[in-house]
């Protein structure tokens, strides 16, 4: 049985102060906060989700804001760069916008495409790349119109402790196709039109350390729960220790660590973020799973603010 993921489902990272996180991803990048909930294992802290208007698979970045945690260190065993895709011919708009908010960026070219590389307030590497592929987001916020808005992930750069093995896993287990090589990078592609370009660094860096400003894991897409069951068997057959199925409210998840040290998750596209709120109101209220609802009052008093707001320029 050969299986192919359509691409990235979501990426999850550790950051610091939650309002700074919201101000950057909603206020500057113009993403929609599609869900505000808590870390089910540590309900005094948030789990925040941002994406396109619907929180479509392939557009979702999720954060654990831990304001008092140590800064992590970028290195192998991690996602090194998270790339976002914007509509064609809009990089000029984004350059102006970043300049207005005094966010420094660098331009570079990779596989013939121009990228703007920047850092979020907690040190995560983020890139913007313009492509025709992918449907426009219907979310407009804080001066980002829908025809300029981020459509979803362009892809990611993976830093592996064992690049050859990671590349083999991407091809043989995840079903990605090797497309090109350039310098110390190899590019793989999946079948979706977003979240589909995965670049692997061929040289292993010193091992990274998890903490603020690092990606915790990358999740790949499964179509539905039947497909998810097949994925679990498929991954096990390659000898990976894969977790039992976990209910994450908005998707089901399984996890395994690939040989290069990167934590991989496979997550189902359904049910999605309109599962416990309407499309119109998603993200506006703190959502709690039923078993935490009785503790809502104490949870709400513990949590720091995390509210999407329109930012003043060059704040
Ligand atoms: Zn996840």
The pLDDT, as a whole number, for residue 2 is 87
Residue 308 lies in a domain: no
CA distance 122 to 112: 29
Q: How far is the CA of 11 from the centre of ligand 1 (A)?
A: 6
Burial 111-133 (b: 16+ CB within 10 A, else e): eeeebbbbebbbbbbbbbbbbee
The pLDDT, as a whole number, for residue 312 is 86
Q: How far is the CA of 140 from the centre of ligand 1 (A)?
A: 26
Q: What one-character DSSP code corresponds to residue 22?
A: H
Q: How far is the CA of 200 from the centre of ligand 1 (A)?
A: 20
The pLDDT, as a whole number, for residue 22 is 98
Instruction: Calculate the CA 76 to chain-centre distance.
Output: 18
CB 268 within 8 A of CB 249: no
Locus of tokens 């489902």: 9
Residue 205 lies in a domain: yes
Indicate the SS3 state at residue 98: helix
Residue 15 lies in a domain: yes
Q: How far is the CA of 247 from the centre of ligand 1 (A)?
A: 11
Indicate the SS3 state at residue 135: coil
CA distance 89 to 107: 15
First to last CA, the chain: 54
Q: How far is the CA of 312 from the centre of ligand 1 (A)?
A: 32
Q: How far is the CA of 105 from the centre of ligand 1 (A)?
A: 28
Residue 310 lies in a domain: no
Q: Looking at the 3D structure of the chain, how many domains does it have?
A: 1
Q: How far is the CA of 88 from the centre of ligand 1 (A)?
A: 29
Q: How far is the CA of 229 from the centre of ligand 1 (A)?
A: 17
Q: How far is the CA of 12 from the centre of ligand 1 (A)?
A: 6
Residue 218 lies in a domain: yes
Indicate the SS3 state at residue 92: helix
Q: What one-character DSSP code corresponds to residue 292?
A: G
Residue 315 lies in a domain: no
Q: How far is the CA of 24 from the centre of ligand 1 (A)?
A: 21
Residue 3 lies in a domain: no
Q: Length of the chain, please? A: 315
Q: How far is the CA of 264 from the centre of ligand 1 (A)?
A: 8
The pLDDT, as a whole number, for residue 265 is 98
Residue 314 lies in a domain: no
The pLDDT, as a whole number, for residue 220 is 98
Locus of tokens 């008092």: 68
Give the domain range for residue 293.
8-302
Q: How far is the CA of 3 from the centre of ligand 1 (A)?
A: 20
Instruction: Name 311's Cβ contacts closer than 8 Å, sequence gap at least 6.
Output: 23, 27, 28, 101, 142
Please tell me the chain's helix, strand, coil percentages from 3-state DSSP, rounded to the nearest 5. Answer: 20, 35, 45
The pLDDT, as a whole number, for residue 130 is 98
Indicate the SS3 state at residue 165: helix
CB 232 within 8 A of CB 242: yes
Q: How far is the CA of 95 from the centre of ligand 1 (A)?
A: 30
- Digits of tens for pLDDT over the chain (315 positions)? 689 999 999 999 999 999 999 999 999 999 999 999 999 889 999 999 999 999 999 999 999 999 999 999 999 999 999 999 999 999 999 999 999 999 999 999 999 999 999 999 999 999 999 999 999 999 999 999 999 999 999 999 999 999 999 999 999 999 999 999 999 999 999 999 999 999 999 999 999 999 999 999 999 999 999 999 999 999 999 999 999 999 999 999 999 999 999 999 999 999 999 999 999 999 999 999 999 999 999 999 999 999 999 998 754
Q: How far is the CA of 34 from the centre of ligand 1 (A)?
A: 15
Q: How far is the CA of 252 from the centre of ligand 1 (A)?
A: 9
Burial 194-230 (b: 16+ CB within 10 A, else e): bbbbbbbbeebeeebeebbbbbbbbbbbbeeeebbee
In 3D, which of 209, 167, 171, 169 has the Cα closest to residue 184? Answer: 167
Q: How far is the CA of 10 from the centre of ligand 1 (A)?
A: 6
Provide the token pair at 26: 């909603």
Query: Which H helix or E strand runs over 100?
Result: helix 91-100
| Domain harbouring 12, CATH code | 3.10.180.10
CA distance 244 to 235: 12
Provide the token pair at 78: 């991690």
The pLDDT, as a whole number, for residue 305 is 95
The pLDDT, as a whole number, for residue 1 is 66
Q: How far is the CA of 265 from the centre of ligand 1 (A)?
A: 6
């Amino acid at each position: 049985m050969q299986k192919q993921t359509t691409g990235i489902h979501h990426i999850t990272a550790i950051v610091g102060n939650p309002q700074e996180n919201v101000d950057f991803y909603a206020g500057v990048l113009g993403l929609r906060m599609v869900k505000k909930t808590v870390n089910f294992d540590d309900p005094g802290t948030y789990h925040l989700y941002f994406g396109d208007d619907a929180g479509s698979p392939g557009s979702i970045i999720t954060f654990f804001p831990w304001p008092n945690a140590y800064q992590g260190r970028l290195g192998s065993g991690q996602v090194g760069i998270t790339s976002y895709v914007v509509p064609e011919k809009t990089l000029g708009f984004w350059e102006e916008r970043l300049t207005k908010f005094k966010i420094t960026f660098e331009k570079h070219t990779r596989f013939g495409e121009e990228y703007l590389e920047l850092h979020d307030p907690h040190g995560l590497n983020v890139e913007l790349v313009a492509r025709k592929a992918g449907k426009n987001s219907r979310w407009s916020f804080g001066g980002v119109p829908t025809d300029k808005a981020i459509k979803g992930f362009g892809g990611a750069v993976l830093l592996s402790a064992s690049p050859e093995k990671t590349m083999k896993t991407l091809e043989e287990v995840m079903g990605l196709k090797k497309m090109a090589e350039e310098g110390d990078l190899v590019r793989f592609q999946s079948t979706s039109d977003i979240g589909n370009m995965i670049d692997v660094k061929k040289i292993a860096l010193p091992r990274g350390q998890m903490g603020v400003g690092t990606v915790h894991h990358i999740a790949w897409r499964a179509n539905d729960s039947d497909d998810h069951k097949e994925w679990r068997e498929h991954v096990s057959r390659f000898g990976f220790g894969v977790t039992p199925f976990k209910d994450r409210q908005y998707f089901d998840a399984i996890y395994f660590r690939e040989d290069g040290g990167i934590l991989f998750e496979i997550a189902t596209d359904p049910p999605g973020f309109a599962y416990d709120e309407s499309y119109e109101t998603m993200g506006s209220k703190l959502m709690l799973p039923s078993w935490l609802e009785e503790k809502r009052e104490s949870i709400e008093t513990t949590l720091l603010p995390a509210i999407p707001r329109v930012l003043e320029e060059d704040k």
